[in-house]
Structure 1
Amino acid sequence: MAATAPTPIPITTISELRQYHSQLVRLGLASHPAHARRLLAFLARDPARLPYAARLLAHHPDPRPALLNPLFASLPPRAAAALLSLMLSMPLQPDHFTFPRLLPAAPLALAAQLHALLLKLNFHSHTQTLNALLAAYLTGARPDLASRLFRTSSSSMLDVVSWTTVVGGLCRLGLVDDAREVFDGMPERNLVSWNSMISGYVKAGRYLDALEVFDQMRALGVEGNGYVAASAVVACTGASALARGREVHRWVEQSGIEMDNKLATAVVDMYCKCGCVDEACNVFDSLPTKGLTTWNCMIGGLAVHGRCNDALELFRRMEMAGVAPDDITLVNVLTACAHAGMVTEGRGYFRHFAESYGIEPKMEHYGCMVDLFGRAGQLDEASKVIDGMPMEPDIAVLGALFGACKIHGNVDLGEAIGWRVIELDPHNSGRYVLQANLLAGAGRWDDVTKVRQLMDERNVSKEAGCSVIEVDGEACEFRCGSLCHPQEEDIYAMAIDMVRRIRAEGYVPDTSEVFHDVAEEDKEESLLYHSEKLAIAFGLLRARPRETLRVTKNLRVCKDCHEATKYISLVFEREIVVRDRNRFHHFKDGTCSCKDYW
């Protein structure tokens, strides 16, 4: 009758190990691979125990590399190296599976030593070992060593994993152009290869390049999977390419790719950030199961689109579904309250998350509360939040109060906070511009000049307004004050006519944020060439009748452009969606979804 192994017990001391080992010996099970590995794994973690491990191996009836190889991947690098040294001293020679297990977690110095050892033992021509060494060098941020090894290896040693390892590693290091060169030279590719290149471009912010590779993959008839689809959707989001996003979504549905939590969240996020919150809701509602990240994404999307009651109702649905919220949920809920001026509700949720879910407020949550009170004009309450924080406020928290002071014209508090913010973030031009606008609103032109001089001394340039509009699947970019476009004359003519027509309906240019001490006529002309007006003019020229115009701007929309766009939506009978730095504005029939509270 076969002996029964003793019940495994936690081994924390050498004394406990000796007891367990003695039971195995009595039962004749000490040489069983699983039990032997358990003993060796404990012993290898402490150099003082290695003599015991050596004796255990010396008395093992069949001490082969297969006994030790599985341990290398689970041990800390130093312990794994010590076990390898013990193995070599037996002598017990490594085999083809030793180095692939040992190299992935090895720090750079150890990887170099192992490289020398595998050359000495003549394992350098083994493909799996080569791939593991390439990964180790790239993980250790030595693309030069990885590239040299890759170039000097014979083609017979390199497989698709080798090429993909290099592509993925270079992308992770931000060397996407080098990665693309390797990718283009691949003799064969698998889905991991395609996704490595696409996701590499996405992480580098080169969304159009990512979509180009995705199109190349599809043109070759390669069937995708959820990872590739998610990367392509994120690229569409980053490029604000709604038409492409819809196309990728259709491809996912037609390909039968499973809409897992990651992909579902990416699709919902894409529709939210491309201005189609209703389509995001349709996708969200169609999901049979929803993960926390998908709930968070949808709640946050509704919040930044100004549908704050819907966002809070969705949070209540999330609670009823038994999904526990996290830090991000609280940020999204407080953002919804802040965008709608729901101060009482925001206070209640701030307490509710702490009391019901044990979520301790972090810096970003205090920032949301400052924003909540600040937008509502309760600057004293916002200041109290900052004074009561258990940590020093960061630039985002102070910036929220600074912005609120500008909105509500509190020059004294705003100026003091503004100089503090500028010193904390001296290279951010937006801080100087906000301070100058605040002082200009009070007619303090000499102080405005001082702000501009400080910008010059520090070589800080004002960030130019930039707006992107997608028409017929093509994204066109416009910059404030300058236009380089084949239809330049037509666009300017449309912008002038656009302003003329909305003036007839009651629009009056708001020059309060043009802080230069110049003639009113010049101020109004400068407003005409704001980037979002040029983008909308182009959209009116090119888009089909009644087609929704979608504009993405890099800065906060100014008061004049906000007012003008309301009139444009009425006069030209267009729905216009503008995504600025803070939120979405849906203009229709002369009104905005933000209700002029932004």
Structure 2
Amino acid sequence: MLITEDFCVKILDKCPDIKQLKRIHCRLIIDGNLLSASHIALKLMKAYSECRQIAVTRQLFDEFPQKDVVFFNVMIRSYVNNVFYDRALHMYRNMFKFNINPDHFTVPQVLKACSGSENLWVGLQTHVAVFKKGLHSNLYVGNGLITMYGKCNRLLEGRKVFDEMPSRDAVSWNAMVAAYAQNGIFDLALEVCRTMIKSSSLKPNAGTMASLSPAVTSSTSPNNVMFMKEMFMNHARESLVSWNVMMAVYVHNSLPTDAVDLYLQMETYGISPDSVTVASVLPACGDLSALLLGRKIHEYVQRKRLLPNLILENALIDMYAKCGSLNEARKVFDKMGTRDIVSWTSMVSAYGMTGDGQTAIRVFSEMQDSGLIPDSISFVPVLSACSHAGLLNQGKQFFKLMTEEYKIVPRLEHLACMVDLLGRSGRIDEAYDFIRRMKTNPNDRIWGALLSACKVHSNMDIGLIAADHLLQLVPEQAGYYVLLSNIYAKAGRWKDVTNIRSIMKARGVKKVPGVSNVELNNQVHSFLAGDQSHPQSKEIYQELDVIVGKMRELGYVAETDSALHDIEEEDKGNHLAVHSEKLAIVFVIINTKPFTLIRITKNLRVCEDCHIAAKLISIIVEREIILRDTNRFHHFKNGICSCGDYW
């Protein structure tokens, strides 16, 4: 039976799979001369290109005897779609050898190839040819030129094309936004987007969101994030791309609650998350210690068979680690078919943050045994793990391994870890000498680590030196003023504490309020010190009074050094009693069954008084308490903390 022309066209238009396509091709060769028909040959070329069989596409092109501009356009498009940009440009040059003139379909594809390969020279030549042939007013050509100039960092030329276009569509505006955003000129990217909304009948879409996202994810301006949110809510909520971009914007701007809320809304709007969505929201779950939601997302990933996926698996490890669930992080890690440096580094970091320095070291050694070569990033968590666990000698050995065997030049992160390691171990003089011998200028993290150690070990002299450097480097950072104030407070130098407050007030520096988050029934609850805004505040404070009474029976005395107020001892104790982590712990106690694990995340370092209180509460209510602060995890059980009171 002969294959008919109509049947052939119908099948090829449906984009058959490669096996079916090869069968059709064989029938065409055996049954007749249909291959000599140009429209059949072109459809066959397109079908092979879509199946990524670019060599066969080129063979069909070469074998066809009478090639016109359409054949060249299809071949160039095939190369571009399969990311063979140089071959596409070579094919473009061959057109002139055959005396075939490019048309308005050729030029946009050539410009895509120039954009993909960042070939400005051919792009400029094409622009000249466009002018000569009068194609510069073509919408698709104009859009291609803007994109090409943006990719090649020639923004003035791109903007000139944009401004001179007789008409623009959404692609034109998005291309101009992307050109600015890709080159780090975020203010102009946002300005073009705002102009589009004000002066054009066109509305932003998913493409606009995607084009603008580099500008907003790199920005720390609340106004920019708000603008992106308004655009998403009003114009671009119908596409999964828009949801993914908006979620990434929230995560990159330290708004994990908003990212999680957005994820939970997706089902209402009939939007199904994909792997990009999941990779975006998992870090937010980790930041909030939203373990229950993280587990549900993990179940969704398994149900949708999104694994194996290295990026997702690494994100799951990181999420479980940040939620203090080491066993679940390890299960994901152990099931991975392929692991990269990020996978191993995440596990080292997970053990280090919980104070299990020995296991962190063992995992790092296993990474080396696996054949992977540690990079500069992977040494940071193992040095930090040594610091948190007080493993001074091992930390020094790893620093020597990094610098002498692997020849890695220490970055500021490594140097900060070493200062922290020495400082926590009480080697304040050695830590200060280490800073003075550094070949690079120390940053605020390095001086901050030294100042923190001085506070713990009551070293006033070096503490003042560290504070002086910090107040010059980052005069707006409230945390360092508080550390210095703490040193003075421990020494009873309340006049100096008052002076620090006066300096902060004069400079407009405000102390970052302590916030503790806890997840309950898929909702994250946040508490501030002395917070009375929660609907259950009355019950929380009543239960807190009862628990504080039981703590006193066990010998609790408020650690008033943690209070930076020059007030009576009794008032200091009252102030400490309402710290945010205590309120969050009590909230969980009154809303969950006995023996339920309590999981809290705090945005600041836990104070000495709350640390003592958490140990006692774990005895009183017979519950495990996992508290993650900015430095590490504290796992309280039966009156003992995993940090060994070393933090």
Match of 1:216, as an amino acid?
A: Q
1:304 aligned to 353, 356, 370, which one?
353
1:173 aligned to 208, 215, 218, which one?
215
CA distance in 2 between counterparts of 1:38 and 1:288 reads: 35
2:102 aligned to 58, 64, 70, which one?
64
CA distance in 2 between counterparts of 1:362 and 1:500 reads: 49
Q: 1:99 to 1:325 in 2, by over 3 A?
A: farther
Match of 1:487, as an amino acid?
A: Q
Question: SS of the residue aligned with 2:527?
Answer: strand
1:112 aligned to 143, 152, 159, which one?
159
CA distance in 2 between counterparts of 1:131 and 1:429 reads: 40
Q: Alpha-carbon deviations, 1:95-119, whole Å to 9, x = none? A: 6764444322424422222124542
The more displaced of 418-427 and 90-99 is: 90-99
- Kindly indicate whether residue 145 of structure 2 is the aligned counterpart of residue 102 of structure 1: yes
Q: Alpha-carbon deviations, 1:237-277, whole Å to 9, x = none? A: 23332221111111111111124221111111111112212
The more displaced of 572-581 and 535-544 is: 535-544
Aligned partners of 1:135 and 1:165 also within 8 Å: no
Instruction: Give, in angstroms, the shift of residue 133 of structure 1.
Output: 4.5
Q: 1:560 to 1:79 in 2, by over 3 A?
A: same
- Kindly indicate whether residue 594 of structure 2 is the aligned counterpart of residue 552 of structure 1: no
Identify the residue that residue 179 of structure 2 maps to in structure 1: 136
- Kindly indicate whether residue 516 of structure 2 is the aligned counterpart of residue 461 of structure 1: no
Identify the residue that residue 473 of structure 1 maps to in structure 2: 522
The more displaced of 196-205 and 263-272 is: 196-205
Match of 2:377, as an amino acid?
A: I
Aligned partners of 1:170 and 1:178 also within 8 Å: no
Instruction: Count the aligned residue pairs.
Output: 547
2:410 aligned to 338, 361, 367, which one?
361
Identify the residue that residue 23 of structure 1 maps to in structure 2: none
The correspondence of residues 256-267 of structure 1 with structure 2, limited to 5 A, is 256-267=305-316
The correspondence of residues 108-507 of structure 1 with structure 2, limited to 5 A, is 108-119=155-166, 124=168, 132-133=175-176, 135-136=178-179, 139=182, 141-149=188-196, 163-174=205-216, 175-184=224-233, 189-507=238-556
Instruction: Give, in angstroms, the shift of residue 586 of structure 1.
Output: 0.3
Q: 1:192 to 1:549 in 2, by over 3 A?
A: same
Instruction: Give, in angstroms, the shift of residue 188 of structure 1.
Output: 8.3
Match of 1:145, as an amino acid?
A: V
Aligned partners of 1:532 and 1:553 also within 8 Å: yes
Instruction: Give, in angstroms, the shift of residue 144 of structure 1.
Output: 3.8
CA distance in 2 between counterparts of 1:57 and 1:487 reads: 76
CA distance in 1 between counterparts of 2:196 and 2:424 reads: 58
The more displaced of 482-491 and 97-106 is: 97-106
The more displaced of 92-101 and 542-551 is: 92-101
2:618 aligned to 560, 569, 585, which one?
569
Question: SS of the residue aligned with 1:103?
Answer: helix
CA distance in 1 between counterparts of 2:268 and 2:88 reads: 52
Q: 1:397 to 1:130 in 2, by over 3 A?
A: closer
The more displaced of 393-402 and 207-216 is: 207-216
- Kindly indicate whether residue 115 of structure 2 is the aligned counterpart of residue 73 of structure 1: yes
Q: 1:93 to 1:265 in 2, by over 3 A?
A: same
Question: SS of the residue aligned with 2:530?
Answer: coil
Aligned partners of 1:167 and 1:180 also within 8 Å: no
Q: 1:148 to 1:462 in 2, by over 3 A?
A: closer
Match of 1:358, as an amino acid?
A: K
Instruction: Give, in angstroms, the shift of residue 321 of structure 1.
Output: 0.8
CA distance in 2 between counterparts of 1:456 and 1:388 reads: 35
CA distance in 1 between counterparts of 2:235 and 2:527 reads: 38
Q: 1:297 to 1:109 in 2, by over 3 A?
A: same
Q: Percent identity?
A: 34
Instruction: Give, in angstroms, the shift of residue 536 of structure 1.
Output: 1.3
Aligned partners of 2:353 and 2:632 also within 8 Å: yes
CA distance in 1 between counterparts of 2:579 and 2:490 reads: 20
CA distance in 2 between counterparts of 1:518 and 1:315 reads: 48
CA distance in 1 between counterparts of 2:498 and 2:86 reads: 73
Q: TM-score, normalised by structure 1?
A: 0.83
CA distance in 1 between counterparts of 2:401 and 2:127 reads: 57
Q: Alpha-carbon deviations, 1:15-62, whole Å to 9, x = none? A: xxxxxxxxxxxxxxxx9999xx979979xxxxxxxxxx9xx9987722
Q: 1:244 to 1:101 in 2, by over 3 A?
A: same
Question: SS of the residue aligned with 1:371?
Answer: helix
Q: TM-score, normalised by structure 2?
A: 0.77
CA distance in 2 between counterparts of 1:220 and 1:430 reads: 42
Instruction: Give, in angstroms, the shift of residue 138 of structure 1.
Output: 5.6
Aligned partners of 2:95 and 2:102 also within 8 Å: no
CA distance in 2 between counterparts of 1:316 and 1:188 reads: 47
CA distance in 2 between counterparts of 1:512 and 1:177 reads: 41
Instruction: Give, in angstroms, the shift of residue 224 of structure 1.
Output: 3.2
Match of 1:462, as an amino acid?
A: K
Q: Alpha-carbon deviations, 1:329-384, whole Å to 9, x = none? A: 11101001001111111111111122332211111111111100100001122122
Q: 1:312 to 1:39 in 2, by over 3 A?
A: closer
Identify the residue that residue 18 of structure 1 maps to in structure 2: none
2:642 aligned to 579, 593, 596, which one?
593
Instruction: Give, in angstroms, the shift of residue 565 of structure 1.
Output: 0.8
Aligned partners of 1:509 and 1:560 also within 8 Å: yes
Q: 1:357 to 1:99 in 2, by over 3 A?
A: farther
Aligned partners of 1:168 and 1:200 also within 8 Å: no
Aligned partners of 1:137 and 1:145 also within 8 Å: no
Aligned partners of 2:515 and 2:528 also within 8 Å: yes
Q: 1:134 to 1:361 in 2, by over 3 A?
A: closer
Identify the residue that residue 537 of structure 1 maps to in structure 2: 586
CA distance in 1 between counterparts of 2:378 and 2:193 reads: 42
Q: 1:216 to 1:447 in 2, by over 3 A?
A: closer
Match of 2:157, as an amino acid?
A: L
Question: SS of the residue aligned with 1:477?
Answer: strand
Aligned partners of 1:306 and 1:336 also within 8 Å: yes
Q: 1:483 to 1:115 in 2, by over 3 A?
A: same
The more displaced of 86-95 and 376-385 is: 86-95
Aligned partners of 2:174 and 2:211 also within 8 Å: no
Q: 1:112 to 1:537 in 2, by over 3 A?
A: same
The more displaced of 60-69 and 427-436 is: 60-69
2:128 aligned to 83, 86, 101, which one?
86
Instruction: Give, in angstroms, the shift of residue 92 of structure 1.
Output: 6.7
Structure 2: gaps (5+ residues): 1-68, 77-84, 217-223
